[in-house]
Amino acid sequence: MLTGIKAIRDHRAAAYVSDARKIRLIVRDDQEWIKEKWMPLAVSAGLKRIAFVTAPTGLGKLTIEDVSGLVNYGPLQSRTFDSMTAARKWVAEAVVKP
């Protein structure tokens, strides 16, 4: 995830798509790290939107939905999607909108 922060900075990215379809579980300690450490770094790097593409069902989908709920942080918005196409469309709007 820190590599993602570097990429956000290097490319001045306003949006990010996370392909989380194969994730099964994110333990509570990692969820807290995302909330307390990663999100502030992402916001300071300029990120405005993050889209999570989830599996259609299962524990991984529920876990990512929990993490997505944690990610809404100040100017950083997040949503979950069932397809890469929908996720890319939503994050592309971040580039157009101020």
pLDDT tens for residues 9-49?
999 999 999 999 998 888 889 988 988 899 889 999 999 99
Band of residue 68 on the pLDDT scale cut at 50, 70, 90: confident
- Mean per-residue pLDDT for 1-16? 93
Nearest to 89 by CA among 53, 41, 35, 57: 53
Q: Which domain holds residue 48?
A: 2-96
C-alpha distances in angstroms, 18 versus 1, 34, 91?
10, 13, 11
Q: Which of 11-20, 51-60, 69-78, 79-88 has the lowest mean pLDDT?
A: 69-78
Our measurement of the distance from residue 59's CA atom to the centroid of its chain's CA atoms, rounded to an integer in Å, reads: 18
Dihedral class, residue 17 (left if φ above 0, else alpha if ψ from -120 to 50, else beta): beta
pLDDT score for 69: 79
Band of residue 72 on the pLDDT scale cut at 50, 70, 90: low
Q: Please state the domain count of the chain.
A: 1
What length does the chain have? 98
